[in-house]
Chains A and B, each alone.
Chain A
Amino acid sequence: MLDAITGYLRTSTTPGEAGSMFWATIYILFITIGVSLAVIAMNWLERKILAHMQIRLGPMRVGPHGLLQPFADALKLLIKEDIIPEDADKLVFWSAPVVVTMTAFTTFLVVPFGRTHAVTDMNIGILFMLGVSSLGVLGIIMAGWSSNSHYPLMGSLRSSAQMVSYEVAMGLAIVSAVLMTSLGTGPGTLSMIGIVEAQNAQQTWFIFNFFPLGLIAFGVFAIAMVAETNRAPFDLPEAESELVAGFHTEYSGFRWSLFFLAEYAAMLAVSSIAVTLWLGGWMRPFPNWLSGSTWNMAFSFVPALAFFVLAGLCFLGTIRMPKIPQMKIQTVGLGVFGALLGFIGLVLLVPSVSERIQDIFWFVAKVACFMYLYIWYRGTFPRYRFDQLMRVGWKVLLPVGLGVLIATAIWGLMPQLSAAALGMVQ
């Protein structure tokens, strides 16, 4: 029994491939907790960064620099009164947030945080992610319909129209990336791990592959992904100034927080798709160009260094705190938080730990860049009108996606095509 559990650690595959039920469960738990923590961190970061972009300070009072604000909010939401409208369809109203949250979390089953750090390696991984994440639309329609109210209904209809139309462009961009796995080295694959390994084999991230085709496909995906997750500037379904809150107007308390959780989990999921398909997944930057043991060593220090920088920022914050008795607890708290981050950095310095963990770090760092972009877009761009949104989706992204797909196929098959043409001539 114990041998079966520890035996997995010596293998270098995912728990799903190794057939280890125990470790699969552990991974699922870790991913669930990790995603929830990421959503909490994201909540704080979004409020802070958005505030700074609008020349405000953001949350400052609950904990040092408002660090405990998301926890206070979560507590508030959990103990809030749970209201179900009188004429609502109770069962559907009850199950809608569950469907949305479950689909958002299920997609993480195949996200490869590292070569060994995924629950399982499905051979239809990317298809599975797309399929499950589009089930989320169902939950949103259920929420809008069962609320028996105008704003939610309109919000959910807008949402479904938007998500369905952008899924087409998104799918085309993804297909062109999947196509790239079959061109050059080896047969094509839909497996998330296989896609990253294909990038490793072709010695390039797919964003730079067949330049500029990979970049354009990535651009199409990057726009479609913002629309797909209903975020600004495509946040028409919940357009705060027009529709109150869109499909979740009638929801409150815990159910509302489930929608919130699902929205951010979906953002993380599509960002992981983008990272896996175009940005080399868990691979560190320049794995081939800057290869060799010296560079490996240098890059293995980066995760620890990142945590040390964060800890340093915390300590800088403690120094800059106003020196008055009321802020004493906050100053100490920020110092302890900085010490915690520094301790994590120290742990990451241990070679065996950093070897096992650093691919997770690179993956998370890449996803974090996307999360920052989401906030940055929200702080900058005004909302699109609905006809503009549809025009961008159908008249720009769809033809561009199709064109890139065809161009990628032709470019990739150029050797065979030219050989065939030569054969015809002779």
Chain B
Amino acid sequence: MTKKDRDQIKSTFTARFVIPVGITLGIWLMLTFLSTHLGWIEDAALYRPAMNTVHVLLFVVIAFSSIAVYSQMFFRGAPLIERVIGCYVTPVAFIIKEIIRVSEFFTFGESLYFGLSPYPFLCLIIGQAGLMAICEMVCRYLYMRKSVAGIRVVTAVPVLMAIISLACIYFMGFWHWGEDVFWLQQTIYILLFK
């Protein structure tokens, strides 16, 4: 999408950034609260499905909400930098929350290093890049179908980004179930903190 195309559909900052990002962040906050506040449900037949639903939704929101955020922002004319920042708001909020949580028992440095753990945090950060790349191409395709503007759907940068992202996630999370990367993380931890 060219700057000219974007300017034609550009909404206000609130509409193109605050609303899509805010809705996602709000849903994440609500689910995070629920994830630790359903213990009052005494009936296991209700409690377990409720907890399972909340945690699956929480996972979907943290890991995949950038699909919704990116496409919303794309079609409201947000420039690339805003789209990227917008997609990272919820995952980064989750990582910061986790860093604060573990700072209860880790030092400040260790807590920051914890926030760089390959699983799940780096996977999450790198995964967002891949999702954004795929979203970019899908949105281009949808935009091209809706408008007369001739734009290239598949270009080198998003394709490369998607491939690198998937490869990194496979290596960090699925290669030997992340065992090798986990021990690499531990080795670096020993070098830095022990």
The answer to whether A and B come from one shared complex is no
- Measured CB to CB, the residues of A under 8 A from B are none
